[in-house]
C-alpha cells in the first residue's frame, strides 16, 4: 500500500530508482495462454527511450528488457511475469549539490517531508525513469486488449500553446513527428516553439490525447469504480499530469444539456450515438463508442534558468540546475499514457466477466 | 469489487437505489474515540438535500440519517458505522415509459449492456441520490480531518459559461448564494442564466473548486497512489464529472517551466512556496500548501426538450422527459466534492502513519 | 481495513453490535440476475437463531431479515444488497458489572487494549451475534453456488470428547439432532455430556466438519491465495475457532507419503482419485473431489462457575458471570461455517473466470 | 489477484519458477529508515537452502540474494525493495516424462485444469522453491519486528509420529538438530525414522511450531481480519500445510470452558494471564502473551515408490518418480513458517497505528 502496486485482477508491482541497480515490474494476474515475446515488450520500451525522440535527454541506455518468469514456450502461464532492465551508468555522477537543496517543481522536498531522507541520485523513485515498469506492464495489457479487438492509441494534442488541428489529423504521421503530433503544421510550429524554449533555458508542457477503439459496451462499475474514475487515477498517477479530461471534458461544463447529450441511434443494425461528447462512457460504464481522454502535462520542472529555492538548512538560495534535461516530456509520455490506459482497461475487462449470472453460468457450462 | 466500496484503511461501502427502500453507507476503519453525533452527519446531509437549494428538484424528503452502529457514548468505537436513510415516496410513480427507452446522457443503456436489465425506477443506482452515502461518510471524514486541523471547503467556481472572479471571492457569501458561488456578481449572473435555461427546457453544467487547508507535508504515496491520483479517482467517480484539474491544471500545460515552477522560501521560519501553481502537491506528495482541485460537471442530462434516442426494441424515437429535474446539479454537488475529497485525504492521512521507522518506533514506545 | 470487510469480487461489509440498534451486511459484487428472495436469506438466519436449537440461549428474537437494496423484481441487479435485522430488546440490561472487569476467554481486555474503551453491552462487536451478517451474506453465496451445481454442507463432527462415527453417518439426521450431528448414537451421548456440563456450570467445545460437493477442478490461485488458505482465513475468523484442518489435516503429518498420496484414476470416463486424503485440493487449487474442512471450536468462555480475573483497576478478583449463556456454540456455528466457506468459494469461483485467455476470448465472443 | 501478492500495508509480490531464469520478490510498504543489508536477507536464505540441511535435496545452488532497489546508504527508503536470485542449473534436465503424467499429491493436474497447460519443469511455480521469495521478504519483516522488540522463533515440533517433548525443550539445540527439533532425544529418534523412510523409498511429514514473543496487546482487527485468521491464511498458503492450530488448537475443543479459559492476573505490576491456552489471542486481537501456532505438513508427495496415476491421455499407469527428493520438508519449512508469520504480523503492526484517535492525534502533533 506504499503506492507502487496497481490493479485488482491484473496487478502490477513496479520497482527501481533512476540511478539504482535497475528498474522493473512484476505482473500478476495476466490470463494464461497469451502469446508474449520479449519483442512485444521491447517495442514499447523503445518508444519511451530517451534516444528515440529528438527533444529528449541523451542518456546512453538501450533499456533492454529481460523477462525472468511467467512465460513458457512463448505463452504466459498465469503466474507472475517479472521483467527488468539493469541500469548501465548508475555509479558515476556527483550528486552532492542536488542533495543539498530542494529543486522547485520536484519531489525533493516532499520525499524528505515524508521519509526523513531521500535517494537523491537522479530523483530516485520520483524520476521519470520510474515509468519504465509502467510501460513494460502496459505492453502486456495492450497485447491482451488487442486479442480482444481493442486498440489504444495516443498522441500529443498540444505542445505548450500550440494545438494540433484534429480536422487535419493524420494518425500515420504521429510516429514521424518529432513531437508525436498527428498534424504536420502544428508539429512544425511546436518544434520551433521547443527550440526557442530550450534556447531560453526553459521548458514546455502539453496535452496527450488517447483514443480507445473496439471497446465493448458494459465495462466499468457503478459508483466508485467507474470506468472514467479508474482511468483518471491511472493517468493522474503519471508524474507531471495536472488535469484529466474525458470526452469533451471541461468544455462540457460550459454548454447546455441539449447540446452535450449524445442521441442514441441505430447504424448498420447496431446501437450507436449521433455524437460522442461523453467520450464513450455513461454513468461510469463504457457505451461502445470510442473512449477519449486527455492528460495535461506541466512543463518539465528541471530548467537551466536561475531559480530561487531553499537548501536543507532552510536558507533561501539561487540555483542553476546543471546536466541534461528534456525541455519537454510530452512526446515520451505518449506511450506512458497508452500504457496506463491499457492497464486500467484490461483490469476492468477481466472484472466484467463476473458481472451477471448468465455469463457466469455459461462460463461454467451450466447453461 | 463491483464498485460500491471505497478506501483502503478508511473503507466505505455505500448501497441503495433512488426508489428502493432506502440508501446508506457502512464506514469501516474510522479510528476509535472520534466524537460523532447524528447532527454532525445531518448537517452534511442537509447541504445535499433537494429542498435546501433553490434550483433543484422539489422531492419532498427530509433525508433524516439514522446511525445504527459503531458509536457508543458519543464516540466512535473503531467498529463499522452503519448509517441509513429510508426513502419515503418510493412506490408511487409510473416508470413504464422510462423503462421502455434509453435516455440520452444517462446510464440506462450502459446498465442494460452490463447487467442485461436494470432497476429503472428513478435511475436506480445511477441516480444522483446515490451520493447520499458518500456525503454521510464524507461528514465522518471531515470530522476526523478537522480534529487534525485540516479543513475542506468547496464552492461553485463556474455555472455554465459564468465564472466567479476569485479576486472578488467572499467565502462567507457561498452559503447565501443560491448557486454556492463566492462572488455575488457572478452568482447573480448565474441565476439569470439558469432561469433562462430552465425556461428553454434545457440544463446547465459548471465547475466546483475545492480548497484543503492545514494539510501537513508528506501525505500521499509515490507512483500509483499519488495524492492527486487518489483525489482524481474519488472526484471523477461522482456522476457527471468530466474533468479534474489540480492546481493550475490545464493552464499549466500552456506556460513555460520558469513560470509554472513554485520557488521554495522561508516565511515565519517555516518552509513554504512563493506561488502555488502546483496546487499543494509535488511528486504526488502534499507539500504543506493549500491543496486545490477543480471538477467540471456536465449539464444535467434530463431535459424537457425534445430529444432523439432509441427504445428497447432498437427503434429510433423522439422523447420528452417528464417530471421534476434539476436544471443544474452543481450547487448540490459542492458538498459531494467536499465529501469525496475528505474521504480520499483521511484515508491517506491514516496510511501515512506507517511510512517511516522513526514514527513507527515512537508510536510503539521504542524511541 | 478495520476488519469487517471480506472478499475481493464478492465483497461483504458487516456491521452491528450485540446490543446496538441492529446488525447487517452489505454484499457488493454479487452477479446480476441471481434469483433471490427474503425467504432464501431467512432460512439461513433461522438456522443460527438461538431459539432454533435446544442447547442455546433463550433470547427472544425472531431476527427477521430486511433486504433494502440490490434486488429488483426478484433478481439481484448487480448493485449492493443491503440486509439488516433490528435488535429488539437492546436497551434493558444493566451492564455496570461486566463493564468493570475482564472476562476470561473473552475479548474485553483486548478491545480495551486496542481502542482505549469498548462497547461492553453484550460483548459489542465481539459478540457471537456478529455472525448474523456473515450468515445473511452466506445465504447469498450458497444460492449462487447452488446455481452452479455446488453444494455446501456442514455438521458437528464432535462435541467435547464425543466424536461422530462417520461410518454410521446419516446426513438426513443432522437437522433432527439437537447438536447437529449426523450419527444418532454420538448425538445422544453428546446431549448427555452437555447436560452434565451445564449442571456443573461449565461449557463445551467441539468440531464442525464441512463438505463441498460439485466443485469444478481449477479453483483457487497459486502461492498466497490458495483455495485452502482462503478458506482457512474465512473459517478461522469465526469467533472461538482455534484450528482448521483440510482433508486428513493433522493426521496427514503422521503417515508416510505412500499412504497420504491420492492416486489419480479414471471412473466413468472422468478423472478422479482413488482416495481423498488431500480433501479436494492440490497445490492450492481444487482437484474436482469433495472439499473437506474441519474447524475446532473452543468451549464457550462465558461460564457460571467461579473464575479468577482482574478488574479495570488492575485488581485481582473472583467473578461469577450471570445471565443466559450457551453451554455450547457448536450447533449454532454449523451454519456460520457453511456461510464462510460458501463466501470464500463464491469469490474464488468468480475470480477463476479470468484465469486463461481461451476463456476470456470465448466470453467476449472472439473465439 | 492471481495469488502471488500478499499483505495490505506491507505488500509483497513474489515471482519465479523452479527452473526459470530466477526467483524473487518485491516488497512495497516497508517503512523508510529500516537498517537493512544483504546479509540480513542472506542469513534467512541460507536457512532454507537445500545444502544447509542434512535430509534435503542436494541441488547445488548458493541462492545468493541480490537487492536491486529500495535501499540507500544502508537503510530502506520507503520505496519498493526488489530482491532476486538467479537460477543456476535451470536448463539441463529432461522433463518429457514428468510432462506426460500427473504425479499424485502434486499440483500437476490442478494447474492443467486451471490454465490449460503448465510449466512442468521442476514443478514450475508450484515448486517448494517458490518459498524463496517468501523468505527474502520474511527476513525484512523479521528485521522490522526485531526493532520493535518482537521475536519470531519456529522449530519442528514433530517429524512423522515422533513428537518433541517440550518439557525437555532446549531452543539452543534447534540449530544443531538435523531436523530442527528442540529436544535431542526426539531429534535422534526422528533421524532414525527418516532414514528408515528414505530406505523404503518413502517420505515423512511433521509439525512446525512457532512462538512470537514481545508482541504488544491490541494487534489484529475484529471479525474477518482477526490476528489468528490472518496468520492462518499466511501459514496455510505454504505448500503442503494441511492444518493450522492456534494455542491449544484442536485440544481446546475437547476440554470444558473452566479448563480452557485463561484467568487474567497481575504480575510485576503488569496484566498477564495465569495460563496461555488461547495462544496469545482473544477475540482476534493479541493479548500480550506469547503467540503460538502449529502448522501440520503432509509428507513430501515425491516418492520413489511405485504409484498408480493417470497420464495426459487419461490412461491409468504406474510410475516411479526419479531424481533427488527430500524425504521430509519440515526442517526446511521452519524458516518459511517464521517468514510468513512475521509478514502477517508486521502488516498488522503497521495497520494498528491508525486504530484510535488519541494515537492519530499524538502522531500528528495535535495532542
Element (H, E) at A232: helix A227-236
Percent of chain A surpassing pLDDT 70: 95
C68 contacts chain B (CB < 8 A): yes
Q: Is the pTM of this model over 0.95?
A: yes
A122 contacts chain D (CB < 8 A): no
Distance from CA of D109 to the nearest CA of B (A): 30
In the three-class reduction of DSSP (H, G, I as helix; E, B as strand; rest coil), residue A352 is classed as helix
Q: Which burial class, exposed, middle or buried, applies to D96 when counting CB atoms under 10 A from its CB (0-12, 13-18, 19+)?
A: exposed
CB C70 within 8 A of CB A222: no
**Whether pLDDT at C238 is above 80:** yes
CB B135 within 8 A of CB B45: yes
pLDDT tens digits, A15-50: 999 989 999 999 999 999 999 999 999 999 998 875
Cβ of B22 within 8 Å of Cβ of C75? The answer is: no
**Whether pLDDT at C91 is above 70:** no
For C239, the closest of D109, D216, D283 (CB atoms) is D283
Residue C264: how many other CB atoms lie within 10 Å: 26
CB D85 within 8 A of CB D22: yes
In the structure, what pLDDT confidence band is assigned to residue B53 with cuts at 50, 70 and 90? low
Please name the residues in contact with C125: beta carbons below 8 A apart, sequence gap of 6 or more: B77, B79, B80, C16, C17, C18, C119, D222, D223
Distance from CA of A157 to the nearest CA of D (A): 33
In the structure, what pLDDT confidence band is assigned to residue C221 with cuts at 50, 70 and 90? very high
Cβ of A147 within 8 Å of Cβ of C350? The answer is: no
Q: In the B/C pair of chains, how many CB contacts fall below 8 A? A: 169
Chains linked to C by 3 or more Cβ pairs within 8 Å? A, B, D
B8 contacts chain D (CB < 8 A): yes
**Whether pLDDT at C93 is above 90:** no
Distance CA(C158)–CA(C170), nearest Å, equals: 15
Task: Spell out which residues of chain A touch residue C354, defining contact as CB-CB under 8 Å.
Answer: 9, 29, 31, 350-351, 353
> Which pLDDT value is given to residue C130?
95
Could you say which DSSP state residue B121 is in? G
Residue D22 phi/psi, 5° resolution? 175, -175
In the structure, what pLDDT confidence band is assigned to residue C168 with cuts at 50, 70 and 90? confident
C196 contacts chain D (CB < 8 A): no
A84 contacts chain D (CB < 8 A): yes
Cβ of B298 within 8 Å of Cβ of A107? The answer is: no
pLDDT tens digits, C262-291: 999 999 999 999 999 999 999 999 999 999
Give D316's strand partners: D310
As given in the structure block, the three cell numbers for residue B119 are 432497476
CB A118 within 8 A of CB A125: no
Q: What is the mean pLDDT of residues C9-21?
A: 96
Give C196's strand partners: none
**Whether pLDDT at B52 is above 70:** no
pLDDT tens digits, A197-214: 999 999 999 999 999 999
C364 contacts chain D (CB < 8 A): no
Distance from CA of C12 to the nearest CA of B (A): 9
CA C213, C217, C223, C225 torsion-angle sign = negative
H-type alpha helices, chain D: 38-48, 96-100, 108-115, 131-147, 184-199, 227-236, 257-260, 330-352, 357-363
Distance CA(A293)–CA(C206), nearest Å, equals: 59
Distance CA(B276)–CA(B226), nearest Å, equals: 18
Distance from CA of A98 to the nearest CA of B (A): 15
Q: What is the mean pLDDT of residues D263-284?
A: 97
Please name the residues in contact with C340: beta carbons below 8 A apart, sequence gap of 6 or more: C134, C138, C234, C235, C237, C238
Element (H, E) at A296: strand A291-297
pLDDT tens digits, A53-70: 566 655 555 789 999 999
> Which pLDDT value is given to residue D93?
67
**Whether pLDDT at A94 is above 80:** no
**Whether pLDDT at D49 is above 90:** no
Closest residue by Cα to residue C307 from C204, C206, C201: C201
> Which pLDDT value is given to residue B147?
98
Distance CA(B332)–CA(B300), nearest Å, equals: 12
Give D317's strand partners: D309
As given in the structure block, the three cell numbers for residue B280 are 499543494
D301 contacts chain C (CB < 8 A): yes
Residue D324 vs residues B250, D22, D91, D119: alpha-carbon distances, Å: 64, 20, 16, 19
- Least confident interval from B152-156, C160-164, C312-316: C312-316
CA atoms within 13 A on the CB side of B49: 17
Closest residue by Cα to residue A261 from B99, C259, D101, B302: B302
Task: Spell out which residues of chain A touch residue C360, defining contact as CB-CB under 8 Å.
Answer: 31, 144, 148, 349-350, 353
In the three-class reduction of DSSP (H, G, I as helix; E, B as strand; rest coil), residue C122 is classed as helix
> Which pLDDT value is given to residue B90?
58
Cα-only R_g, chain D: 22
Average pLDDT, chain A: 93
Which chain C residue has the Cα nearest residue B80? C15
Task: Measure the CA dihedral D102/D107/D108/D110, to 10°.
Answer: 100
**Whether pLDDT at C237 is above 90:** yes
> Which pLDDT value is given to residue B174?
94
Residue D163: how many other CB atoms lie within 10 Å: 18
As given in the structure block, the three cell numbers for residue B261 are 515552477
In the structure, what pLDDT confidence band is assigned to residue D92 with cuts at 50, 70 and 90? low
pLDDT tens digits, D15-34: 999 999 999 999 999 999 99
Task: Spell out which residues of chain C touch residue A8, defining contact as CB-CB under 8 Å.
Answer: 8
Distance CA(D295)–CA(D337), nearest Å, equals: 8
Give B32's strand partners: D356
Phi-psi bin for C180: left (phi > 0), alpha (psi -120 to 50), beta? left
CA A268, A274, A278, A279 torsion-angle sign = positive
Residues 333-352 of D with CB under 8 A from B: 349-351
Distance CA(D357)–CA(B77), nearest Å, equals: 10
Q: What is the 3-state secondary structure (H, E, C) of D2-20?
A: CCCEECCCCEEEEEECCCC
pLDDT tens digits, B249-306: 999 999 999 999 999 999 999 999 999 999 999 999 999 999 999 999 999 999 999 9
pLDDT tens digits, A255-310: 999 999 999 999 999 999 999 999 999 999 999 999 999 999 999 999 999 999 99
Task: Spell out which residues of chain A touch residue B14, defining contact as CB-CB under 8 Å.
Answer: 223-224
DSSP B294-306: EEEEPPPS--SS-
Residue C19: how many other CB atoms lie within 10 Å: 20
Give A271's strand partners: A266
As given in the structure block, the three cell numbers for residue B275 are 506561488
Which chain D residue has the Cα nearest residue C306? D258
Distance CA(B194)–CA(B329), nearest Å, equals: 11
Q: What is the mean pLDDT of residues A101-127?
A: 92
In the three-class reduction of DSSP (H, G, I as helix; E, B as strand; rest coil), residue B60 is classed as coil
Cβ of B79 within 8 Å of Cβ of C114? The answer is: no
Which chain A residue has the Cα nearest residue C364? A148
Distance CA(A109)–CA(A100), nearest Å, equals: 11
- Total residue length of chain A: 367
Average pLDDT, chain C: 93
Task: Give chain C's count of helices (H) and strands (E).
Answer: 9, 18
pLDDT tens digits, D145-157: 999 999 999 999 9
pLDDT tens digits, D222-251: 999 999 999 999 999 999 999 999 999 999
Q: In the C/D pair of chains, how many CB contacts fall below 8 A? A: 402
**Whether pLDDT at C195 is above 70:** yes
CA atoms within 13 A on the CB side of D61: 24
Closest residue by Cα to residue D70 from B54, A153, B222: B222
Distance CA(D326)–CA(D338), nearest Å, equals: 20
As given in the structure block, the three cell numbers for residue A75 are 505463452
Residues 127-146 of A with CB under 8 A from C: 144
B5 contacts chain D (CB < 8 A): no
> Which pLDDT value is given to residue B113?
95
pLDDT tens digits, A178-200: 999 999 999 999 999 999 999 99
- Least confident interval from A217-226, A313-322, B219-228: A313-322
Please name the residues in contact with C158: beta carbons below 8 A apart, sequence gap of 6 or more: C164, C186, C206, C207, D253, D254
Distance from CA of A127 to the nearest CA of D (A): 12
Please name the residues in contact with C89: beta carbons below 8 A apart, sequence gap of 6 or more: C59, C60, C61
Closest residue by Cα to residue A339 from A218, A238, A247, A248: A238
Chains linked to D by 3 or more Cβ pairs within 8 Å? A, B, C
Q: What is the mean pLDDT of residues C83-88?
A: 94
As given in the structure block, the three cell numbers for residue A56 are 529528449
**Whether pLDDT at D61 is above 60:** no
Chains linked to A by 3 or more Cβ pairs within 8 Å? B, C, D
Task: Spell out which residues of chain A touch residue B266, defining contact as CB-CB under 8 Å.
Answer: 310, 314-316
> Which pLDDT value is given to residue A247?
98
Q: What is the separation of C-alpha B118 from the centre of its chain, rounded to a whole number of angstroms?
A: 25
**Whether pLDDT at A51 is above 50:** no
**Per-residue exposure over A217-251, b if at least 16 CB sit within 10 Å of its own CB, e if not:** bbbbbbbbbbbbbbbbbbbbbbbbbbbbbbbbbbb
Percent of chain B surpassing pLDDT 90: 87
**Per-residue exposure over A100-112, b if at least 16 CB sit within 10 Å of its own CB, e if not:** ebbbbbbbbbbbb
DSSP A6-38: E-SSSEEEEEE-TTSSEEEEEEE-PPBT-B--H
pLDDT tens digits, A297-333: 999 999 999 999 999 999 999 999 887 778 999 999 9
- Predicted ipTM of the assembly: 0.96
As given in the structure block, the three cell numbers for residue D285 are 486481537
In the structure, what pLDDT confidence band is assigned to residue D322 with cuts at 50, 70 and 90? confident
Average pLDDT, chain D: 93
Give D13's strand partners: D5, D26
Distance CA(D356)–CA(B77), nearest Å, equals: 9
> Which pLDDT value is given to residue A89?
65
For C353, the closest of A8, A33, A353 (CB atoms) is A353
Amino acid at each position: 500500500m506504499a503506492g507502487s502496486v496497481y490493479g485488482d485482477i491484473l496487478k502490477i508491482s513496479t520497482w527501481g530508482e533512476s540511478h539504482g541497480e535497475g528498474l522493473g515490474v512484476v505482473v500478476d494476474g495476466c490470463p494464461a495462454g497469451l502469446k508474449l515475446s520479449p519483442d512485444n515488450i521491447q517495442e514499447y520500451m523503445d518508444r519511451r527511450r530517451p534516444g528515440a525522440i529528438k527533444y529528449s535527454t541523451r542518456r546512453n541506455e538501450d533499456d533492454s528488457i529481460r523477462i525472468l518468469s511467467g512465460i513458457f514456450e512463448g505463452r504466459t502461464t498465469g503466474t507472475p511475469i517479472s521483467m527488468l532492465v539493469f541500469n548501465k551508468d548508475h555509479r558515476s555522477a556527483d550528486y552532492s549539490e542536488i542533495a543539498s537543496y530542494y529543486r522547485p517543481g520536484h519531489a525533493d522536498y516532499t520525499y524528505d517531508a515524508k521519509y526523513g531522507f531521500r535517494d537523491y541520485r537522479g530523483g530516485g523513485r520520483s524520476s521519470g525513469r520510474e515509468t519504465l515498469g509502467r510501460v513494460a506492464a502496459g505492453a502486456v495489457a495492450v497485447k491482451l486488449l488487442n486479442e480482444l479487438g481493442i486498440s489504444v492509441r495516443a498522441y500529443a494534442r498540444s505542445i505548450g500553446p500550440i494545438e494540433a488541428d484534429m480536422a487535419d489529423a493524420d494518425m500515420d504521421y504521429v510516429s514521424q513527428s518529432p513531437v508525436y503530433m498527428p498534424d504536420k503544421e502544428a508539429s512544425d510550429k511546436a518544434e520551433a516553439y521547443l527550440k526557442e524554449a530550450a534556447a531560453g533555458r526553459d521548458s514546455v508542457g502539453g496535452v496527450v490525447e488517447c483514443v480507445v477503439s473496439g471497446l465493448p459496451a458494459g465495462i466499468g462499475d457503478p459508483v466508485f469504480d467507474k470506468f472514467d474514475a479508474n482511468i483518471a487515477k491511472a493517468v493522474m498517477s503519471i508524474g507531471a499530469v495536472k488535469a484529466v479530461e474525458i470526452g469533451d471534458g471541461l468544455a462540457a461544463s460550459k454548454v447546455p444539456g441539449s447540446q452535450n447529450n449524445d442521441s442514441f441511434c441505430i447504424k448498420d443494425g447496431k446501437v450507436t450515438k449521433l455524437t460522442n461528447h461523453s467520450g464513450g462512457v455513461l454513468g461510469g460504464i463504457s457505451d461502445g463508442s470510442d473512449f477519449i481522454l486527455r492528460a495535461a502535462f506541466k512543463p518539465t520542472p528541471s530548467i537551466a534558468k536561475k531559480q530561487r529555492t531553499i537548501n536543507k538548512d532552510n536558507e533561501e538560495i539561487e540555483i542553476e540546475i546543471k546536466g541534461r534535461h528534456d525541455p519537454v516530456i510530452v512526446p515520451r509520455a505518449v506511450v506512458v499514457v497508452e500504457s496506463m490506459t491499457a492497464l486500467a482497461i484490461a483490469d476492468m475487462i477481466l472484472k466484467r466477466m463476473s458481472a451477471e449470472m448468465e455469463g457466469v453460468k455459461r462460463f461454467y457450462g451450466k447453461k
